[in-house]
Structure 1
Amino acid sequence: MTTPASRTEAISTEPIPSPGTPPKRLADISVMIGGQGGDGTLTVSDLLGRYFRKLGLYVYTSRNVLSRIRGGHADASIRASCQPILSIKPDVDILMAFDEQAIEIGRSELGPEGIVLYDSTGSAADVPQAYGFPFATLVGGQVGQPIYKNTAAYGALSVLLGFDPVMTRQVIEERFTRRGEEALAKNLKALEIGRQAALSVPGLADRWHVESGEAHDQILTIGNQGVALGFVVGGGRFFAGYPITPATEVMEYLQRYLPAFQGVVRQAEDELAAINMIIGAAYAGARVMTSTSGPGLSLMTEGIGHAGAAEIPIVIADCARVGPSTGQPTRHEQSDLAHLANLGHGEFPRFILAPATPLECFQLTVDALNIADKWRAPVILLLDQALCQNTTTSPPYDLDGIHMVRGKRLSGADLEKMTEYKGYAFTADSGSPIAPPGTPGVWSQVTGNEHDEWGHVSVNRENRLKMMAKRMGKMVTAVPDLPAGKYFGEPHARIGIIGYGSTIGPILEAQERLKTRGIRTRFYQPRTLWPVPGHELDPFLHGVDVAYVVENNYTGQFARLIRETVPWHHAKLRSILRYDGLSFRSPDIIRPITEGV
């Protein structure tokens, strides 16, 4: 049905009239907003997220957009719950559609009691419980620009969900005040247009009521922001990068944060320049980082190998997306691991850390800086699109546990006690003391060629053997400094689950749902992927009969690395894979486990 156009009145703060029947109370709700790029789907998601946060709810959002400025289908999903969440709900409760394509795509996601609100200006919906409103026509005529239809849609949703009118208005004011009085006034008018249109439909107002939660101390953030803030507080002072989806926000946040701490951010002409810029800054003594994604990582590979050979401490944040080649820039995947584990030609030490939440992005970025400095080696933060860009509630970033480890850095006083300085000295733990170039009394030489302890190019056989053992020995001596894995679920369950990165959310939810069916599981979340943590995997796999490795790629890359590291557990491993550009949802994990019981 389509509501008649209604006259826009002054912003109403009157409570929504009570329906004839009590509203259905929801402690976990999912809303999907779809339309064309430029319709403002992400804005509606943001407005709902702000309101849900005022209710003290945990929030998780995802987006499905094309790599273009405008046009093409785009949708956003937002979930709000009284319980902690790190994934999208399996079913959609409300679909807000701005065109027929969004209806067709979203209808398959609807739950059994799902409701559809849609813009009937140029669309029709042949689905149950669908309510059409000519949002574009209404705001186009009364506000002057149809673009404000997204705010009108938010107004209609606020009526359906029984939102408090005052809080609903506050969200608009918080979102648009910084854009000036005119923009704020037009959005407030569009809000009321949407509210009045929805109020004119009998029985729609307050159909559902969203419960309040207790997550008022949480913040809304994304993984890329956690990486940027971790770099700042971890002492990072030089960043160079090149814009690439889904990593660009790291550089954008640092452009905002780092100058206040006498730091430098450089947008390089390409990824080749970016990796060499940070190598130079690191050699001079700065703590450095770059961020990129698959195509950029391919270009950086030779530079990372140079840093490994020259023992220069650098950090690379790899925000993985669908590959190969350009792939799907805005879609989710975890297919970079095999590349990173075998990065470049030759052999050199590198460490791969895998955070799973924005808070871990913050913490492990600090860890990455410390590990790189202490062991003079490249450290890669392996993230994925969902972790990088999906907004979620998170505990505030705590500075109390932050500390800096600079490794064996020599002071002037240290050098005065030395009879000679060797930048690549052989030591028991493979870590050589270092003084940055320019330190008085120090003569420095660096090269990507094989070299001796002084940095002189060498083709001596015995020196080669010793240098290889020195560099690769770091993969053993550094293990106590690498982030340990985490364990969830029943400690004695015979069914195991292994997953890293953003798979943590759907895995934890799957565990809870399996538990209600009497299926008990234990979950191991590795936070170091290279060197493969065999000392954690071996006892975990010894304690289970079967272990499901959950990852977003076609070939089961982490499962393959596990088999290479602990081959005696080969028969226990099963892969649960998804590689369609979308994140896992809990049923994707529940189904194969229940079938295997």
Structure 2
Amino acid sequence: MTVADTRTLDDLTVAVSGQGGDGSLTVTTLAARILSARGFHMYSARSVASRIKGGHAAAILRGSRADRGGLDDDIDLLVAFDDEAVERIGPAMAPNGIVVFDASAGPVPSGHLSEDVQVFAVPFARLAVRDLRRDLYKNSLAFGVLTRVLSVGDAEAEACMDEGFARLPALLRQANRAALRRGFAFADEQGMLDGEGPWRLAAFDVAPRLMISGNEALALGFLVAGGRFFTGYPITPASEILAWMERHLPRFGGVVVQAEDELAAVNMAIGAALTGVRAMTATSGPGLSLMQEGVSHAGSAEIPLVIVDCQRAGPSTGMPTKPEQSDLSMLAHGGNGEFPRIVLSPGDPTDCYEMAIAAVAISRRLQCPVYIALDQAVAQHSATVAPFDLDVAVEQGSVLDAAALAELAEYRRYLITPDGVSPWVVPGTPGGMSLVTGNERNEWGQVSIDPANRTAMIAKRARKIARAIDTLPLGRRWGDPGAAVGLLGVGLEVAPMREAVERLAAAGIAVAALQPRTLWPVLPETVAFVNERRVTHVVEHNDEGQVFHMLAEAGAPAGSMIGMRRSDGLVFTPGEIVDRVLAEARR
């Protein structure tokens, strides 16, 4: 083990990989504490097989001086617990990267690493079994070597582990501490001494930040917006929302129900919303397919409801742990018949928090279903963000109390109004009786098949969107607003697009970028963005170009748009987006 001259890092990507159960996520979680103490912005991702235990797994952590919110092109430091980790991740190693390899079963496999990558071979599993009688502790041993590579002092590394493992029983804390020290001892034997590793971490001003996933931030936003009823059925990658709600919502007077299936979940949420409670359900593509009839009912009966779709690779079961954006057409057009719905699309945890608040308010204001379109990466990956503003006004909408109801000459639940929004009284309010049905109805809620009434009711519901379109969340923009080249994407595309814009600007190429936060209806600003460019690259994770076709349907010129798509379960890196833009520019 030879230690080269120390270099200081202000942008570092660490991958820890092995089989499921090897403790890869534990190592990156501890490393995140180290980086956080130095003021790094962080982004944490994971790649796991769709099974309870086993299969290849990787945890990836990026720490950077700039707020990146996504992964870099390459891996700087790889902790590999087996050959497969090197075979899968080795080709993505950055120039002059470092691999810390578990050599318990033999040398590092050849043919996967470039010659400039430095390999530190450490028999983690063998040392853990020999000294601690269990290979379970190899991840703590690996953390000791990792901190030596980064020139983190042993005392700081040990304090970090003590803090991270504070909830473990004393005997387990003691065993993990012993494994950590065994990692230090091995590094000593190889000449990599305390504080004298090949790399050193830069340090910046430490600002208050949260490390939070999109699912967690969205759940918090729902709570802050006044949400008090949540129901769902466990499904990857939405299950964390249900788990968060079960832990926290009851403390604020809320109710959480784990339903027997998605059909029950959406209908329970509709029933709760009908009583005036702000209600939400969350699922992924397969569950959303089952919910379509219920969502149509909410649209027809004009019941406010928030539905979260944490998209994953489909169709059917597909690849549950991989990201995709292939439900977007279903969100915009799914269900039987025509009814107003809004589709919001956050791009990071802060966005998830804000869009959850917006979704609750919009559903209440317009009395219609509001979808929040996440994807596996935005939903489950974590990033550091500034603390959220919890001082949020709770939207009341057009709900009438008993006093307001008494002022009406007559209560018509589905009164035809200029903006399409009718007065609404919570069931049980004296004088506020009405009928709620999935059938077409007249202004009193009575079933009607009268042609004139039918035409009037369709027009009434449609006016909700037409009159409210100027109040829906606008997009976020980056880059040169006058650029002839544009990038447009939602969800997991946002972070690599933003960094790609910076890299292209540094190379003297002006690019404008837009993240539409209201995906449906397509807002005028989104169409205008495309109209203002010579060419717009529409970046998305599906094969059919669902965002592309939404834009074209709304009037954006298809001839000036280029699809940039992938559906292989991998994310775009900033470098890949830069290369695609440059390739088009050279034509």
1:240, distance to aligned residue in structure 2 (A)? 0.4
Post-superposition Cα deviations, 1:222-256, rounded to whole Å, max 9, x if no partner, equal 00011110011110000000000000001111111
In the TM superposition, 1:116-195 aligns within 5 A as: 116-125=99-108, 126=110, 127=113, 128=115, 129-195=118-184
> How far apart are residue 22 of structure 1 and its match?
4.2
Match of 1:225 in 2: 216
Residue 579 of structure 2: aligned partner: 591
Question: Alignment partner for residue 308 of structure 1, among 280, 299, 303?
Answer: 299
Aligned to 1:484: 474
Structure 2 partner of 1:538 = 527
Q: Does 1:259 align with 2:258?
A: no
Alignment of 1:542-561 (within 5 A): 542-561=531-550
Which residue pairs with 1:209 in the alignment?
Answer: 200
In structure 2, the partner of 1:58 is 41
CA distance in 1, matches of 2:187, 2:80: 15
The answer (yes or no) to whether the contact 2:527–2:554 under 8 Å persists in 1 is: no
One of 328, 332, 346 as aligned partner of 1:355: 346
C-alpha distance in structure 2 between counterparts of 1:250 and 1:123, whole Å: 42
Aligned residue type for 1:529: L
Which residue of structure 1 aligns with residue 89 of structure 2? 106
Secondary structure in structure 2 of the residue aligned to 1:473: helix
Distance 1:590 1:434 in 2: 51
Q: Which amino acid aligns with 2:70?
A: S
Structure 1 residue aligned with 2:333, among 326, 336, 342?
342
Deviations 1:504-548 (A, max 9, x none): 110011111111221110111100011111x10233223211111
Q: Is the 8 A contact 1:351 1:530 kept in 2?
A: yes
Residue number among 574, 578, 582 corresponding to 2:566 in the alignment:
578
Give percent identity, aligned residues only: 43
Please report how far the alpha carbon of residue 215 of structure 1 lies from its aligned counterpart in structure 2 after TM superposition. 4.5
Residue in structure 2 matched with residue 292 of structure 1 by the alignment: 283
Label 1:364 to 1:346 Cα distance change in 2 as closer, same or farther (>3 A). same
The amino acid across from 1:270 in the alignment is D
**Residue 99 (structure 1) shift:** 0.6
Show the counterpart of 1:83: 66
- The whole-number CA distance in structure 2 between the counterparts of 1:108 and 1:440 is 70
Does the 8 Å contact 2:349/2:382 carry over to 1? no
481-490 or 122-131: bigger deviation? 122-131
What SS does structure 2 have at the residue aligned with 1:178? coil
Per-residue CA distance 1:369-398 (angstroms, 9 max, x = gap): 010011110000000111011111111111
Instruction: State the AA in 2 paired with 1:178.
Output: R
Letter in 2 for 1:63: R
Q: What is the CA–CA distance in structure 1 between the aligned matches of 2:163 and 2:242, rounded to whole Å?
A: 25
Instruction: Return 5+ residue gaps in structure 1 as ranges.
Output: 2-18
Amino acid at match of 1:335: S
Mapped partners of 2:48, 2:66: distance in 1: 28
The aligned residue for residue 437 of structure 2 is: 447
Spell out structure 1 runs of 4+ moving beyond 4 A.
Answer: 19-22
Q: Give the letter for the 2:200 counterpart.
A: H
What is the alpha-carbon distance in structure 2 between the residues aligned to residue 25 and residue 199 of structure 1?
21
Partner residue in 1 for 2:417: 427
The answer to whether the 8 A contact 1:553-1:577 is kept is yes
Q: CA deviation at 1:576?
A: 0.8
Counterpart in the other structure of 2:508: 518
- Tell whether the 8 Å contact from 1:119 to 1:135 is kept in structure 2 after alignment: yes
Rounded to whole Å, the distance in 1 between the matches of 2:188 and 2:511 is: 47
Task: Give the secondary structure class of the aligned counterpart of 2:104.
Answer: coil
Pairing of 1:343-422 with structure 2 (within 5 A): 343-400=334-391, 402-422=392-412
Change (3 A) 1:20 1:582: closer
Q: How many angstroms apart in 1 are the aligned matches of 2:207 and 2:365?
A: 38
The aligned counterpart of 1:28 is 11
Inter-partner Cα distance in structure 2 for 1:170 and 1:466 = 68
Segment of structure 1 superposing worse, 558-567 or 445-454? 558-567
* Cα deviation, residue 419, structure 1: 2.3
Q: Is the 8 A contact 1:58 1:213 kept in 2?
A: no
Unaligned runs of 5+ in 2: none
Kindly state the Cα deviation for residue 480 of structure 1 after the two structures are TM-superposed.
2.5
* 1:9 aligned residue: none
Contact 1:371 1:481 in 2 (8 A): no
Which is further off, 269-278 or 69-78?
69-78
Give the total of aligned pairs.
577
- CA–CA distance in structure 2, aligned partners of residues 203 and 434 of structure 1: 71
Report the equivalent of 1:319: 310
Distance 2:558 2:346 in 1: 26
Maintained 8 Å contact 2:3/2:197? no
User: Would you say the 8 A contact 2:80–2:100 is kept in 1?
Assistant: yes
Distance 1:471 1:123, change over 3 A: farther
Conservation of the 8 A alpha-carbon contact between 1:99 and 1:123: no
Distance 2:135 2:207 in 1: 35
Task: Indicate the larger mover: 319-328 or 144-153.
Answer: 144-153
Distance in 2 between residues matched to 1:108 and 1:414, nearest whole Å: 67
In angstroms, what is the RMSD of aligned CA positions?
1.3
Alpha-carbon distance between aligned partners in 2 of 1:20 and 1:321, rounded to the nearest angstrom: 43
Structure 1 CA distance for aligned equivalents of residues 511 and 482 of structure 2: 8
Q: Which amino acid aligns with 1:513?
A: R
When residues 48 and 110 of structure 1 are mapped into structure 2, their CA distance, relative to the original with a 3 A threshold, is: same
For the Cα contact (< 8 Å) 1:218–1:394, is it kept in 2?
yes
Q: Structure 2: how far apart are the matches of 1:214 and 1:247?
A: 35
Cα offset for 1:405?
Answer: 1.4
Kept in 2: contact 1:81–1:213 (CA 8 A): no
The reply to whether residue 47 of structure 1 matches residue 38 of structure 2 is no
In 2, the alpha carbon distance for the partners of 1:303 and 1:215 equals 47
2:320 to 329, 334, 351: 329
Distance 2:452 2:553 in 1: 30
Distance 1:589 1:139 in 2: 43
Which secondary structure state, in structure 2, belongs to the residue aligned with residue 63 of structure 1? strand
Q: In structure 1, what is the Cα distance between the partners aligned to 2:521 and 2:414?
A: 23
TM-score normalised by length of structure 2: 0.96
1:195 to partner: Cα distance: 1.7
Match of 1:527 among 504, 517, 530: 517
| SS at 1:206 equivalent | coil
Alpha-carbon separation, structure 1, partners of 2:538 and 2:89: 29
> How far is 1:88 from its partner?
0.7
Q: How far apart are the structure 1 equivalents of 2:138 and 2:289?
A: 42
Give the corresponding residue for 1:239: 230
Q: Residue 100 of structure 1 contacts residue 123 of structure 1 at CA under 8 Å; is this kept in 2?
A: no
8 A contact 1:159–1:199 mirrored in 2:
no
Instruction: Report the CA distance shift for 1:132/1:22 in structure 2 as closer, same or farther (over 3 A).
Output: closer
Where 2:533 maps in the other structure, the secondary structure is coil
- Structure 2 equivalent of residue 4 of structure 1: none
Per-residue deviation, 1:486: 1.5
SS of the residue aligned with 1:179? coil
Q: CA deviation at 1:20?
A: 7.8
Question: Partners in 1 of 2:515 and 2:212 — Cα distance?
Answer: 21
Distance 1:66 1:538 in 2: 39
The Cα shift of 1:203 comes to 5.3
Task: Tell me how far apart the structure 2 counterparts of residues 199 and 334 of structure 1 sit (CA, whole Å).
Answer: 48
- Residues 215/504 of structure 1: CA separation in 2 closer, same or farther (3 Å cut): farther
SS at match of 1:196: helix
Deviation larger for 134-143 or 307-316: 134-143
**Counterpart Cα distance in 2 of 1:559 and 1:441:** 49
- 2:57 corresponds, among 51, 74, 80, to 74
Please give the per-residue CA displacement for 1:449-506, whole angstroms capped at 9, x wherever unaligned: 0000111100000000000001111121121321111111111111111111121110
